Amino acid sequence: MTQCNLGCVSPHRDTEELTVIFGKVFKKDRNMLPGLSEKETEEIKAALETGDLPLAAYVVQRSDELLKNTELNIAITGESGAGKSSFLNALRGLSDEDQGAAETGVTETTKQLQRYQHSKYPNVIFWDLPGIGTPDFQPATYLRQVMFNRYDFFIILASERFRANHALLARQIRKMGKKFYFVRSKVDVDLYNENRKKGFSEEKILEKIRKDCIERLSKEGISSPRVFLVSSREFQKYEFPKLQKKLLKELDSHKKHLFLMALPNLSQPILEKKKKLLQGQIWKQALKSCAIATVPLPMLSVRCDVDTLVDSMRQYCESFGLDDISLNALALQVRKRVEDLKSVVRSPLAKDISKETAEKLLRQATGEGLLIAKHFVSMIPLAGTVFAAERSFTVTYRMLNSFLNGVAEDAQRVLVEALAKEEEENEDQ
C-alpha cells in the first residue's frame, strides 16, 4: 500500500482559498467536529485559520492513531449461573455454540478471569469474571482479585433476583469511581413459564420483574437503581436497546466509536447509528486526500486517493457485517443458507474490494480526462494545488458517502432476510 505520510507535506498557506474548501463540513461556530475531541477541534480551527492544511490533516491522522490504540474493556460479573457467558457471547454477535464463544453450562464454568477479544475490533475486550459469592471470590476481596482498574465499566448480571452481594459490589465499584449497570437476564425464560397461566400479559410480567429487582436493590442500600431486562437469546428485544443507548451516552468519543462498531448488526436502530457515526467521519478521509493533493508530485494524489478509498470501503463492509465471516455466522444463527443472505447484497463484499475497484469508482466519479489532469495539475503553482486539493476533497467525500449509503442499505436487506426466516419458523410452530 502506498504510504501517504502527511507529516512530510510542506505547508500551503493560501488561507482564503483553503478555508473555502472545508465550508461543506466545517463551521467556525461549531464546538466540536465529528470524531474529534474539543482540544483536537481547536487545533483544526487554528490550522485552518492560518491556511496550514497539512497541520490540520496531521491532527486528524494523530486522532485516528489514538483511536487505533484505544482499548475498551467491558466486565461482565454477577453470581454463578446468571448467564454471564451467554450475555457476553451475544454482545460479541455469537451464539453459545459458535467457535470462540465463551463456555456456558448448567454448572459454574467461569472459575477465573476469561478474556475475549472482538473478532473484528481486537481493541474491544470482554471479560467474563468469576461469579461473585463463590468460595474463591467473596465480595470483600472480589474487586481486588479481578483487578477492577482495567475495566471501563461493569455489567452486574442476575438471572432470578438481585441479592446483597450485587448491592455490595455496586457500592464498591461506585466508591472506586467506576460505572456499573444492573442487568436482569433470562427474562425470556420467565415469560415462557408465565405464559402457561391464565391472564398472561408480557407487559405486566416484565413490570413485575423490574419492580422486584428495584425493591430488592433499594432494600440493600442502592438509591434509585435502574435495571435493564434482557434475554441473551433474543438480544434486541426487551431492554437491551435501552442499555446500548445508555452506554453510548456515557462513553467518551473514541470508546463510544469502538463500542458501537462492535455491536452486532441485529437491529435497524444499530445500523442507523453506525451509518450516522461513519458518515460523520468521512470528512477526515477527505481532508487527508485534500492535503496529499497539495504535494507537487504527479501520481501521488491519485495513488493515495485509491488507498484511502480501499481502506474505508473495507471498513464500512466489515462494520455492517458484509464479509464472509459475519455472513456465515449470521446464517448459522438464523439457520439459513449464507447464499440466501448474500443474494440481497448489491455492494462488493469486503474481500472483493481492491485497488482496481477503487480506481474504477474514481474514473466513474471524475471522468477519464479529469482523472488524468489530476495526476499533474498540482505541479501548477498555487492555482493548481488549490484545484487539486478541492477536487480531491470533493471526490473522496462524495464517493465515500455514496458507498456507505449502499453498504448500509445492503445491511438492512440482509437483516430483513434474516428476520424473515425467523418469522416463518415462528409461524410454522
DSSP letter string, 265-326:
S-SHHHHHHHHHHHHTTHHHHHHHHHHHHTS--TTHHHHHHHHHHHHHHHHHHHHTT-SHHH
In the predicted model, is pLDDT for residue 83 greater than 80? Answer: yes
pLDDT tens-digit map of 352-376:
999 888 877 777 765 544 454 444 4
**Best-predicted range by mean pLDDT among 110-124, 203-217, 368-382?**
203-217
3 state SS of 115: strand
What pLDDT, on the 0 to 100 scale, is given for residue 306? 79
**E strand or H helix at 184, and its extent?**
strand 179-184
Find the distance separating the first CA and the last CA of the chain, reported in whole Å: 53
Answer yes or no: do 233 and 279 share one domain: no
Report the alpha-carbon distance of residue 8 to residue 5 in Å, rounded. 6
pLDDT tops 80 at residue 336: yes
Measured between alpha carbons, how far is residue 104 from residues 108, 143, 328 in Å?
8, 23, 22
Predicted confidence at residue 180, as pLDDT, reads 95
Q: Classify residue 130 by its DSSP letter.
A: P
The confidence band for 61, taking pLDDT boundaries of 50, 70 and 90, is: confident
Q: Is the pLDDT of residue 378 over 50?
A: no
Residues 201-222, mean pLDDT to the nearest whole number? 94
The answer to whether residue 145 is domain-embedded is yes
Q: CA angle, corner 284, sides to 59 and 11, nearest 5?
A: 50
Over residues 385-391, mean pLDDT: 61
Check residue 49 and give its pLDDT. 76
Mean pLDDT confidence for 247-255: 89
Asked if the model's pLDDT at residue 285 lies above 70, the reply is: yes
Report if residue 36 sits inside a domain.
no
pLDDT of residue 168 exceeding 80, the answer is yes
pLDDT at 246: 93
C-alpha cell of residue 69: 490504540
| pLDDT at 358 (0 to 100) | 83
Average pLDDT over residues 52-60: 81
Measured distance CA(134)–CA(112) in Å, rounded: 11
Contact between 129 and 84 under an 8 Å Cβ cutoff? The reply is yes
Q: Is the pLDDT of residue 21 over 80?
A: no
Residues 200-214 have a mean pLDDT of 93
Q: Are residues 281 and 251 in the same domain?
A: no
| Domain shared by 193 and 318, yes or no | no
What is the maximum span of the chain, computed from C-alpha positions, in angstroms?
83
Residue 304 confidence (pLDDT): 65
Total-model pTM? 0.80
Q: Is the pLDDT of residue 115 over 80?
A: yes
Answer for the pair 130, 113: CB distance below 8 angstroms, yes or no.
yes
Per DSSP, which regions of 190-230 are E strands?
Answer: 227-229
pLDDT of residue 386: 55
Q: Are residues 212 and 342 in the same domain?
A: no
- Is residue 40 in a domain? no
Look over the chain and give the mean of its residue pLDDT values, rounded to a whole number: 80
pLDDT-based confidence at residue 420 (cuts at 50, 70, 90): confident
Identify whether residues 376 and 252 lie together within a single domain: no
pLDDT exceeds 50 at position 429: no
Residues 316 and 188 in one domain: no
Residues 336 and 236 in one domain: no
Domain range for 288 is: 272-428
What is the spatial distance between Cα 390 and Cα 429, in angstroms, rounded to a whole number? 59
Q: Which residue did the predictor score with more confidence, 347 or 7?
A: 347
Q: Please state which of the ranges 86-95, 96-105, 107-116, 227-236 shows the lowest mean pLDDT.
A: 107-116
State whether 178 and 304 are in the same domain. Answer: no
Given a cut of 80, whether residue 316 has pLDDT beyond it is yes
pLDDT at 204 (0 to 100)? 93
Q: Is residue 56 part of a domain?
A: no
pLDDT of residue 388: 60
| Weakest mean pLDDT among 50-59, 134-143, 160-169 | 134-143
Whether 120 has a pLDDT exceeding 90, the answer reads no
Question: Is 32 among the domain residues?
Answer: no
Q: How many CB atoms lie within 10 A of CB 159?
A: 19
The domain boundary, picked from 264, 287, 318, lies at 264
Residue 45 maps to a domain? no
Percentage of the residues of the chain whose pLDDT score is greater than 90 = 35
How far, in Å, CA of 347 to CA of 345, rounded?
6
User: pLDDT at residue 136 above 50?
Assistant: yes
Lowest mean pLDDT of 10-19, 106-115, 164-173, 276-285, name the range: 10-19
pLDDT at 397 over 90: no
Q: Are residues 231 and 318 in the same domain?
A: no
Domain limit, last residue, from 217, 245, 264: 264
Specify if 407 maps to a domain: yes
Res 11: pLDDT: 41
**pLDDT greater than 90 at residue 404:** yes
Q: How confident is the model at residue 96 (pLDDT cuts 50, 70, 90)?
A: confident
Residues 392, 334 share a domain: yes
Read off the pLDDT of each residue in 27-52 and give the average, rounded to a whole number.
72
Note whether residue 49 is domain-resident: no
CATH of the domain at 133: 3.40.50.300
Please give the tally of structural domains in the chain: 2
- Average pLDDT, integer, range 398-408: 91
The arithmetic mean of pLDDT across residues 416-425, rounded, is 68
Q: Are residues 229 and 96 in the same domain?
A: yes
Q: Which of 264, 297, 315 is the last residue of a domain?
A: 264
pLDDT band at 133 (very low <50, low <70, confident <90, very high): low
Same domain, 277 and 330: yes
In percent, how much of the chain has pLDDT > 70? 77
Q: Would the pLDDT of 331 be above 80? A: yes
